[in-house]
């Protein structure tokens, strides 16, 4: 068992395997999980966690694993980050809930002020808070429909936006997200994404051709004047860490501006320093009309936000937005702790550093291992796409096999991709360099 009684950065920053993975205690707990929880709730790696912090997660058998997942891009500031813990502990003893719509409290307002200031663009903004990424995206669509008086929503191939009826409809991939869960919400239309690795005429013309195709489809099949919003991830996350070819996002933004369509950036996975910018939109100078954030915003407490132009968000009638728990005081205090941590620990720069370490190593692997068709990403959001050598034919079986080998060696990695053939890497931004290197070495050895 762990020598420490708390998680956080004080946990020994080491990989330590004391049993096979999963060990006996985790296997016991997993049997209970199978008896109590439906299989619809899947499991990436059946080790049960007792402590986590810095770059490791520690399991019930005392194994310490290197964390290349951050709970799907959530614990960017680290698990049990000290400023988060301190603020939440203070808050939980003061009051746990009032419902912000009933009697407000300062932390909610402070989070909104900070988001209005930090998100791209210096126009006047408003923010409101909800509980999950899906809820943020769903609310962005509500607001966009209200503000424009239009109904259609345009989304992209490989997009992921959540699991509620509307956001599942916005999501591209059938299995496992949509299969047998229809009928879906109306007025959702899907257009091509500039996916350089898979663009038929090659990566060079990808941005221009994909934008032209997408715009033509909108004009011909929907009619620009019927479109309330375009909803897009600046880097497609679950779809496989697809960075749209440079020029694609600006072209779509220009088209939106010219046609009164609101540009909604889903930065649920890319936000809060992850990509080496505070927001991924900054890379090409994209200023969205509405931006949705979640995950990394609150160090693991459930919080999400919708931030947008004041004139858009102010349209909605009094009482038209909300929810019982949105902007819960504990989650708001956690977010304030996250903002401080990002600033004071220089985590934007730290994410760039992680990318500077990882991307050259991954490209080196690609030279030796022909099944790596593509290496991509920015900052601490990187991935490799696995294919049958010399082709673009996806190899999900190999992807699973490499994942399995990494897990057995104590490196937690996640998969992604429309074809299930992408290994993605999302280390906490506070991961020490020696663990980053060790994780990459394990990955290297798993590529055989």
CA atoms within 13 A on the CB side of 377: 35
160 counts as binding ligand PLZ under rule CB under 6 A: yes
- Helix, strand, or coil here: 336? helix
Q: Are 85 and 25 in contact (CB under 8 A)?
A: no
Among 33, 145, 146, 163, binds ligand PLZ (CB under 6 A): 163
Closest distance of CB 43 from ligand PLZ, Å = 12
In terms of CB distance, is 134 or 371 closer to ligand PLZ? 134
Site for ligand PLZ in 199-218 (CB under 6 A): none
Q: Smallest distance, Å, CB 197 to ligand PLZ?
A: 19
* Among 132, 307, 382, 446, interactor with ligand PLZ by CB under 6 A: 132
Closer of 64 and 399 to ligand PLZ (Cβ): 399
Identify which range of 29-37, 79-87, 101-109, 127-135 contacts ligand PLZ by CB under 6 A.
127-135
**Complex with ligand PLZ: residue 137 or 194, whichever CB lies closer:** 137
Determine, following the binding rule CB under 6 A, whether residue 327 of this chain makes contact with ligand PLZ. no
Is 170 one of the binding residues for ligand PLZ (CB under 6 A)?
Answer: no
Rule CB under 6 A: say whether 424 interacts with ligand PLZ: no
Among 83, 150, 158, 161, binds ligand PLZ (CB under 6 A): 161
Using CB atoms within 10 A of its CB, is residue 391 exposed (0-12), middle (13-18) or buried (19+)?
A: exposed
Give the CA count within 13 Å in the CB-facing half-sphere of 363.
Answer: 8
Using rule CB under 6 A, residue 243 touches ligand PLZ: no
Handedness of CA 39, 44, 45, 48 (dihedral sign): negative
Least distance to ligand PLZ from the beta carbon of 137, Å? 6
Name the one range near ligand PLZ by CB under 6 A: 114-122, 132-140, 328-336, 341-349.
132-140
Checking DSSP bridges between strand 290-293 and strand 304-309, what pairing results, if any?
A: antiparallel
156 binds ligand PLZ (CB under 6 A): no
Instruction: Give least dist CB 73 to ligand PLZ, A.
Output: 7
Piece of 15-23, 221-229, 232-240, 241-249 that binds ligand PLZ (CB under 6 A): 232-240
Q: Does 158 bind ligand PLZ (CB under 6 A)?
A: no
**Alpha-carbon distances of 250 from 197, 240, 242, 288, 317, rounded to whole Å:** 20, 21, 16, 10, 32
| Nearer to ligand PLZ (CB atom), residue 52 or residue 130 | 130
Minimum distance between the CB of residue 393 and ligand PLZ, rounded to whole angstroms? Answer: 25
Round to whole Å and give the CA distance between 188 and 171: 10
* Closest listed residue to residue 230, CA positions, set 284, 150, 176: 150
- Percent helix, strand, coil in the chain (nearest 5)? 40, 15, 45
Q: Cβ atoms within 10 A of the Cβ of 203, count? A: 14
* The pair of three-digit structure tokens given for residue 218, joined into one six-digit string: 């909108």
Between CA 176 and CA 299 the distance in angstroms is 27
Binding site for ligand PLZ (CB under 6 A): 72, 132-134, 137, 160-163, 233, 237-238, 266, 268-269, 294
């Amino acid at each position: 068992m762990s020598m420490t009684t708390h998680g956080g950065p004080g946990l020994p920053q080491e990989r330590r395997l004391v049993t096979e993975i999963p060990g006996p205690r985790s296997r016991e707990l997993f049997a209970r999980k199978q008896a109590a929880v439906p299989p619809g709730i899947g499991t990436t790696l059946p080790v049960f966690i007792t402590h986590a912090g810095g770059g490791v997660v520690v399991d019930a058998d005392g194994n310490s694993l290197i964390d290349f997942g951050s709970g799907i891009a959530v614990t960017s500031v680290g698990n049990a980050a000290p400023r988060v813990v301190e603020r939440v502990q203070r808050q939980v003893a003061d009051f746990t809930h009032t419902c912000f719509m009933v009697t407000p409290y300062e932390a909610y307002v402070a989070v909104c002020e900070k988001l209005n200031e930090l998100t791209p663009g210096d126009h006047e903004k408003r923010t409101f808070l909800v509980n999950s990424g899906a809820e943020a995206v769903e609310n962005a669509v509500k607001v966009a429909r209200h503000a424009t008086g239009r109904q259609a929503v345009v989304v992209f191939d490989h997009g992921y936006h959540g699991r509620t009826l509307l956001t599942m409809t916005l999501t591209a991939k059938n299995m496992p997200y949509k299969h047998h869960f229809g009928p879906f919400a109306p007025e959702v239309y899907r257009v091509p994404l500039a996916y350089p690795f898979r663009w038929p005429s090659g990566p060079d013309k990808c941005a221009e051709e994909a934008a032209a195709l997408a715009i033509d489809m909108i004009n011909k099949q929907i009619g620009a004047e019927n479109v309330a919003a375009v909803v897009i991830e600046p880097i497609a996350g679950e779809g496989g860490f697809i960075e749209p070819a440079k020029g694609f996002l600006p072209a779509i933004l220009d088209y939106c501006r010219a046609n009164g369509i609101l540009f909604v950036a889903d930065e649920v996975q890319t936000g809060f320093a992850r990509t080496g910018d505070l927001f991924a939109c900054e890379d090409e100078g994209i200023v969205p009309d509405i931006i949705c954030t979640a995950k990394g915003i609150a160090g693991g407490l459930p919080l999400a936000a919708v931030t947008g132009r004041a004139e858009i968000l102010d349209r909605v009638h009094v009482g038209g937005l909300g929810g019982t728990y949105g902007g819960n005081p504990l989650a708001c205090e956690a977010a304030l702790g996250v903002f401080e941590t990002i600033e004071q620990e220089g985590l934007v720069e730290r994410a760039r550093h992680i990318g500077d370490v990882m991307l050259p190593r991954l490209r080196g692997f690609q030279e030796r291992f022909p099944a790596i068709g593509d290496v991509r990403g920015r900052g601490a959001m990187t991935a490799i796409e696995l294919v049958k050598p010399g082709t673009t034919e996806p190899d999900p079986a190999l992807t699973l096999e490499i994942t399995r080998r990494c897990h057995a060696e104590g490196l937690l990695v996640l998969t992604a991709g429309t074809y299930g053939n992408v290994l993605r890497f999302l280390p906490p931004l506070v991961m020490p360099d020696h663990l980053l290197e060790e994780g990459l070495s394990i990955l290297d050895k798993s590529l055989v």
